[in-house]
A = this chain, B = another copy of it.
Amino acid sequence: MLTQTVTTLARERPYNNLLRRLSPPDYALIASYLVEDQAMPNELLYRPGDDVQIVHFPCGPALTSYLVPNEDGRDVETILVGREGAVGGIVSEGFLPAYTRIVVKFGGPFVRLPLSRLAAAKLQSKTLRNVFARYADCMLAQMFQSTACNAIHSIEQRTAKWIVAAMDRTDGEPTVPLTHEQLATLLGVGRSYVSRVVQTFRAEGVLETRRGAFMVRDFDALKQRSCLCNEAVKTHFEEVLRGVYPTEQAAAG
Contact partners of A91 in chain B: CB under 8 A: 91, 133, 136-137, 140
This protein's copies in its complex: 2
Could you tell me the distance between the alpha carbons of A41 and B36 in the complex, rounded to whole angstroms? 52
A137 touching B188 by the CB < 8 A rule? no
Query: Taking the complex as formed, is A201 at the interface, i.e. its CB lies under 8 A from any CB of chain B?
Result: no
Residues of the B chain whose Cβ atoms lie less than 8 Å from the Cβ of A78: 143-144, 147-148
CB neighbours (8 Å) of A79 from chain B are 147
User: Smallest distance from the beta carbon of A169 to chain B beta carbons, Å?
Assistant: 19
- For residue A37, CB closer than 8 A to chain B, the reply is no
Q: Does A57 contact B (CB under 8 A)?
A: no
Q: Which of A63-82 contact B (CB under 8 A)?
A: 66, 68, 70-71, 74, 76, 78-79
Return chain B residues, CB-CB under 8 Å to A144: 66, 68, 78, 99-100, 143
Q: Contacts A96-B137, A140-B99 given: A187-B66 contact, CB under 8 Å?
A: no
Contact across chains for B239 and A97 when beta carbons are under 8 A apart: yes
A binding-site residues for B, Cβ under 8 Å? 66, 68, 70-71, 74, 76, 78-79, 91-93, 96-97, 99-100, 133-134, 136-137, 140-141, 143-148, 150-152, 187-189, 227-228, 236, 239-240
**Given A91-B140, A96-B137, 15 extra CB contacts under 8 A:** A68-B144, A68-B147, A70-B148, A74-B152, A76-B151, A91-B133, A92-B133, A92-B134, A92-B140, A92-B240, A93-B133, A96-B240, A99-B236, A147-B147, A151-B189
